[in-house]
Amino acid sequence: MAIVFEKSKVLTDVNTHYCPGCTHGIIHRLIAESIEELNLQERTIGVAPVGCAVFAYNYFNCDMQQASHGRAPAVATGIKRALPDSIVFTYQGDGDLASIGTAEIVHAAARGEKITVIFVNNAIYGMTGGQMAPTTLPGQVTTTSPYGRDVAHCGYPVKISEMLSTLDGANYIERVSVNNVKNVNAAKKAIKKAFQYQADGKGFSLIEVLSTCPTNWGVSPVEAIEWLEQNMLPYYPLGVYKDKEGEKV
Amino acid sequence: MAKVTFLQDTCKGCSLCVSACPKQIINLSKEINTKGYNYAEVLEMEKCTGCASCAKMCPDCVITVER
Amino acid sequence: MEKQLMKGNEAIAEAAIAAGCRLFFGYPITPQNQIPEYMSKRMPKLGGCFLQAESEVAAINMVYGAAGAGARVMTSSSSPGISLKQEGISYIAGAELPAVIVNIVRGGPGLGGIQPAQSDYFQSTKGGGHGDYRLIVLAPASVQEAADLTYSAFDLADKYRIPVLILGDGMIGQMMEPVSLPTPKEPTSANKPWATNGAKGRERTIVNSLYIDPVELEQVNLRLQSRYDTIQKNEVLCEEYLMDDAEIMLAAYGTTARIVKKAISELRKKGIKAGLMRPITLWPFPAEQMSKYADKVKAVLTVEMSLGQMVEDVRLAINGKVPVEFYGRTGGMVPTWKEIAAKVENMCGGAK
């Protein structure tokens, strides 16, 4: 028998602090496998956010910088402009990217910064205990929307992939999900493509990954997967929103 | 022929592998590991096809798959 | 090197380039726009990178990234923009990264005005950002000094792995004076084993300021403090002007010090023996240098373009031995030598 699946060497031996069933673990693995398969480990510098993934610098086996909240795209810009031959990725949640960091992500995309952004959308603020996020769905109960998100009061969720795809500087934007094996496979393909684009010197890529937060959604990991399928997939459709290179004939 | 190996003490008992397995041969043990979780295990290894669905859904890289 | 007539802002930019800086991230704000504009012209010609960031916040975080990657990098702004950068500066200090930040101070608080001021002394030396950290703060009083201090700032930043702040004001930024520029050196990222530049053939590196275990965080802070103690011992710069026989000490920095020097020369004509202590490093503050005159002078007058910020450090240095008075103008108003001299005469009970 041969090994057909094992842990990537681009993940460290450190066991993650993520909650049982949190899909951060799956997404970390897909990134690590992509970096390993494309042989980029020695050139890669990752930027960790503020959020549950703040300790990502302990989990990815490459040079890492930890950035202030929302500013990872700016930090990544600094690294990539200083070291144009490096592979730079950011890993950000919905508070980091879609709330405090909206200016930084918009402008990194507009400038066409040659970085790869992995945006983890779980419709809630995990690390701080389950507050409303810009991606929280209408009617969704969180600790700061205890009666359910009231769109009359605090508006509608932000659709990042759609929004950023309007920017000419953005090269590749795809929304994926990790709710089942088929989608995990597709997510890996998208993430690997995003890293391949950077390795090829193409511009800004962002992969939005629909993810679960069992702890703050108040459900079991398996129920959380179902919640994602029933509620998030209809609101945040999966698909390629931009692929400049793919559109070239 | 196929086989899956679980790192018992890394498992957090989330059950994503249990739902993912198309042969439904994964279950959570009644025993707990050093972290206090009921860890995932396969008792009918002969039914394993090595599809790696479990490993792909596992957030903690608990599972190694051989075929 | 041959002297050329340069605007302060441009001299600062050229001196940074001479020091091997090849990355500049900034955002427009009066009265320092010549710095990003100059960099936008010069950097591409040197194969360097000028980027106008989307905000001062983004700019300081780009500095963090590039500094973490081992490059010599600079940003500049003015008072309100420096306020925006404070979180980033704290992160740079906490992650022990070298960087140079230029503040061309304008009147505050809030949007304030665009005229020169010295009301960012507290912000620069007493934090500004959160946490127990220090910046080396350098205060030039001429365009030449602005160039020289900017040039040395990069060496200091690298030597101690600390952010260095050049504290100018709108006058320094805008005025034109003859400058002899420092000798250019090539950029090098050698000798930065802590930098994140791709883990090829070495253990991976992490640039980080998060230490969630308080035992560890305390140790980090103690280690930083001991570095600050070393800097305090070794890097103080202060000009002592006519202090040998001074009976009145004036304390002032930056362009205010030049006006004070004129006041001193006029006072001396009237028989008042005034002298000047001009801190060049505002942090580390020349407390020791000042305190040795506390037994020799009769009084101290601190003059600032603010309502009194450095005066608190002067008072600490003098330690109650003699009265420390204050004269200041604020909101962008610049004191005249006559006002300063009149205040000194008043303190002396009229001319001798």
Task: Write the pLDDT tens digit of every residue in B2-54.
Answer: 999 999 999 999 999 999 999 999 999 999 999 999 999 999 999 999 999 99
**pLDDT for the residue numbered C127:** 85
Q: What is the end-to-end Cα distance of chain C in Å, rounded?
A: 45
d(CA C192, CA C215): 27
| Structure tokens given for A249 | 């004939």
- Collapsing DSSP to helix, strand or coil, A224 comes out as helix
CA A38-A186-A31 angle, 5° bins: 40
Say if the Cβ atoms of A103 and C88 lie within 8 Å.
no
Residue A232: DSSP 8-state: I
Q: Which residue of A has its CA nearest to B55?
A: A5
A48, closest residue in chain C (CA to CA):
C208
Residue A180 CB neighbour total at 10 angstroms: 18
For chain B, the maximum distance between any two Cα atoms, rounded to a whole number of angstroms, is: 32
- CATH classification of B3-66 is 3.30.70.20, yes or no? yes
Q: DSSP code of B10?
A: G
User: Chain A within 8 Å of B28 (Cβ-Cβ)?
Assistant: no
Are residues B20 and A29, on separate chains, in Cβ contact within 8 Å? no
**In A, which residues are within 8 Å of B64 by CB distance?**
3, 5-7
Tell whether B34 lies on the interface with A, counting CB pairs under 8 A: no
Task: State how far residue A40 is from chain C, nearest Cα, in angstroms.
Answer: 9
Contact C344, C248 (CB under 8 A): yes
**How many angstroms separate the CA atoms of A56 and A50, rounded?**
10
CA–CA gap between residue C87 and residue C183 (Å, rounded): 34
Minimum Cα–Cα distance from A214: chain B residue: B14
Sheet holding B3-6, edge to edge: A3-5, B63-66, B3-6
Residue C6 and residue C177 in contact, taking contact as beta carbons nearer than 8 Å: yes
What sign does the dihedral A95-A97-A99-A101 (CA atoms) show? positive
* Distance, CA of A172 to CA of A165 (rounded, Å): 8
pLDDT for the residue C350: 60
Mutation for testing the C interface, residue in A71, A100, A117 having most C CBs under 10 Å: A71
Domain ranges of chain C: 3-234, 239-347
Q: d(Cα C63, Cα C73) in Å, to the nearest integer?
A: 6
Give pLDDT tens digits along chain C (352 positions). 689 999 999 999 999 999 999 999 999 999 999 999 999 999 999 999 999 999 999 999 999 999 999 999 999 999 999 999 999 999 999 999 999 999 999 999 999 999 999 999 999 999 899 999 999 999 999 999 999 999 999 999 999 999 999 999 999 999 999 999 999 998 876 789 999 999 999 999 999 999 999 999 999 999 999 999 999 999 999 999 999 999 999 999 999 999 999 999 999 999 999 999 999 999 999 999 999 999 999 999 999 999 999 999 999 999 999 999 999 999 999 999 999 999 999 999 865 4
pLDDT digits (tens, 9 = 90+) for C5-64: 999 999 999 999 999 999 999 999 999 999 999 999 999 999 999 999 999 999 999 999
CATH of domain A24-124+159-211+236-247: 3.40.50.970
Within 13 Å of residue A193, how many CA atoms lie on the same side as its CB?
21
Longest distance between any two alpha carbons in chain A, whole Å:
59
DSSP 3-state assignment of A151?
A: helix
Cβ–Cβ < 8 Å for C92, A135? no
Task: Give the DSSP H/E element, type plus range, for residue A66.
Answer: strand A63-66
Please tell me the distance in Å from B13's CA to the nearest CA on chain A.
Answer: 7
- Interface A-C, measured as beta-carbon pairs within 8 A, has a size of 128
Residue A245: predicted pLDDT: 85
Using CA atoms of A19, A20, A22, A25 in order, give the dihedral in degrees to the nearest 10.
Answer: 100
- pLDDT tens, residue order, chain A (249 aa): 999 999 999 999 999 999 999 999 999 999 999 999 999 999 999 999 999 999 999 999 999 999 999 999 999 999 999 999 999 999 999 999 999 999 999 999 999 999 999 999 999 999 999 999 999 999 999 999 999 999 999 999 999 999 999 999 999 999 999 999 999 999 999 999 999 999 999 999 999 999 999 999 999 999 999 999 999 999 999 999 999 988 764
Residue A133, min C-alpha distance to chain C (Å): 22
Residues in chain A closer than 8 A to C73 (CB atoms)? 78, 82
Strands of C281-283's sheet, edge to edge? C49-52, C23-26, C73-77, C99-105, C163-169, C136-138, C281-283
Bridge partners, residue C148, by sequence: none
Mode of pairing for the β-strands spanning B63-66 and A3-5: antiparallel
Q: Which chains touch A (3+ CB pairs under 8 A)? A: B, C
d(CA A42, CA A21): 30
Judged by a CB distance cut-off of 8 A, whether residue B15 touches chain A is: yes
pLDDT for C349: 86
Query: Environment class of residue C311 by beta-carbon count within 10 Å: exposed (0-12), middle (13-18) or buried (19+)?
Result: buried
Under CATH, which number does the domain C3-234 receive? 3.40.50.970
User: Which residues of A are less than 8 Å from B20 in CB distance?
Assistant: 180-181
What is the spatial distance between Cα A94 and Cα A123, in angstroms, rounded to a whole number? Answer: 7
* Other beta carbons less than 10 A from residue A68's beta carbon: 23
Yes or no: say if A233 and A43 are a contact pair by the CB < 8 Å rule.
no
Give the helix/strand (H/E) hosting A33. Answer: helix A24-37
Rg (CA), chain C: 21
Q: Give the whole-angstrom CA distance, residue C197 versus residue C188.
A: 13
With CA atoms as reference, the chain A residue closest to B9 would be A15
Question: Do the Cβ atoms of A220 and B15 come within 8 Å?
Answer: yes
* Every domain of chain A and the residues it spans: 24-124+159-211+236-247
Give A-chain residues touching C95 at CB under 8 angstroms: 65-66
- The CATH fold assigned to C239-347 is Rossmann fold (3.40.50)
Contact with chain A for residue C237, Cβ under 8 A: no
Q: Kindly report the nearest CA distance between residue B44 and chain A, in angstroms.
A: 18
Would an 8 Å CB–CB cutoff place A14 in contact with chain C?
no
Judged by CB atoms closer than 8 Å, whether chains meet at A6 and B59 is answered as: no
Place of tokens 């060497």: A9
Backbone angles phi, psi at C242, to 5 degrees: 55, 35
Q: Is B5 on the interface with A (CB under 8 A)?
A: no
Q: Would you state the structure tokens that stand for residue A213, as one six-digit string? A: 């937060």
C86: which chain A residues are within 8 Å (Cβ-Cβ)?
Answer: none
Per residue, the 3-state secondary structure of chain C, as one string, reads CCEEEEEHHHHHHHHHHHCCCCEEEECCCCCCCHHHHHHHHHHHHCCCEEEECCCHHHHHHHHHHHHHCCCCEEEEECHHHHHHCHHHHHHHHHCCCCEEEEEEEECCCCCCCCCECCCCHHHHHCCCCCCCCCCEEECCCCHHHHHHHHHHHHHHHHHHCCEEEEEEEHHHHHCEEEEECCCCCCCCCCCCCCCCCCCCCCCCCEECCCCCCHHHHHHHHHHHHHHHHHHHHHCCCEEEECCCCCCEEEECCCHHHHHHHHHHHHHHHCCCCEEEEEECEEECCCHHHHHCCCCCCCEEEEEECCCCCHHHHHHHHHCCCCCEEEEECCCCCCCCHHHHHHHHHHHCCCCC
Chain A contact for B67 (CB, 8 A cutoff): yes
Residue C192 has, within 13 A of its CA and on its CB side, a CA count of 26
**Using an 8 Å Cβ cutoff, are B59 and B13 in contact?**
no
3-state class of A29 per DSSP? helix
**Contact: C58, A45; criterion CB under 8 Å:** no
> Which of B14, B33, B34 would best serve as a mutation to test chain A binding (most A beta carbons within 10 A)?
B14
Q: Are B65 and B4 in contact (CB under 8 A)?
A: yes
